[in-house]
Amino acid sequence: MSATIEHIVIRRPRSQVYAYMDDVAKEKEWQPSLVEASQTPDGPTRPGTRKHYVSEFLGRRIENTYQATAVDPERRVVYETTRGSTLDGTLEITWDDHDADATRVTLTMDGRPTGVLRFVPRAMLDDAWRRQLRATLDRLKERLEVGA
C-alpha cells in the first residue's frame, strides 16, 4: 500500500477536535467500520500508549494495535502498528489551525498489509483504504459540527 493522505476542515477549535479524537470511548462515533476500541493506559495519548481496534474492512474482521511513537498534543500524533496486526504500518494525524474557529485534520496512512489482507490486490486495497479514510473524516466533521 502506498501512503494514503486525506484531510478535512472542521469548524471547531483545534483543542476541541483533538480532545474528541483522543477519547477512545468516542472513536466508534466517528469511525464507521470500528467494532471495538480500547486503550492502554487510560488517559491522554502519550508515547507508548497502545490502542487496539477491531474493525470490518472489505468484509473481513481485522485487528490492529497501534502504539503512539510521537505525541505533540493538539498538533501531531504518530502511531505504528505492533506485531500481530493485520497491517504493518504508520498512521500520522495532524491538527492545524485553519482560521480562528476551524481545524484542518490530516490523516496519513502508510503501510503494508499482512494476515488476511495480503491476498487482496493492491489497487483494491488502496481504493478501499482511501474511501475508508474519507468516510471517517466526513463522519468526524458531521459529529463535531452538527452533533455538538
CATH for 61: 3.30.530.20
* 43 φ/ψ sector (left φ>0, alpha ψ -120 to 50, else beta): left
Would you state the pLDDT for residue 99? 87
In this prediction, residues 29-51 reach a mean pLDDT of 96
Domain span at residue 56 reads: 4-145
Predicted structure pTM score: 0.89
CA atoms within 13 Å, Cβ hemisphere of 65: 10
Q: 61, 54 in Cβ contact below 8 A?
A: yes
Cα first-last separation, the chain: 35
C-alpha cell at 90: 504508520
- 148 has pLDDT over 70: no
- Number of separate domains in the chain: 1
b/e sequence 108-122, b meaning 16+ C-beta within 10 Å = bbebebbeebeeeee
Q: Is the pLDDT of residue 139 over 80?
A: yes
User: In this predicted model, what pLDDT tens digit does every residue of 53-108 receive, in sequence order?
Assistant: 999 877 778 889 999 999 999 999 999 999 888 778 899 999 999 988 999 999 99
- Range with top average pLDDT, 34-48, 59-73, 115-129: 34-48
Among 42-46, 63-67, 83-87, 144-148, the minimum mean pLDDT is found in 144-148
pLDDT of residue 113: 73
For residue 139 the three cell numbers come to 463522519
Sheet of 50-57, strands arranged across = 4-10, 102-113, 87-99, 76-81, 60-72, 50-57, 34-40
Q: Is a pLDDT exceeding 90 seen at residue 2?
A: no
User: In this structure, what C-alpha cell is assigned to residue 45?
Assistant: 495519548
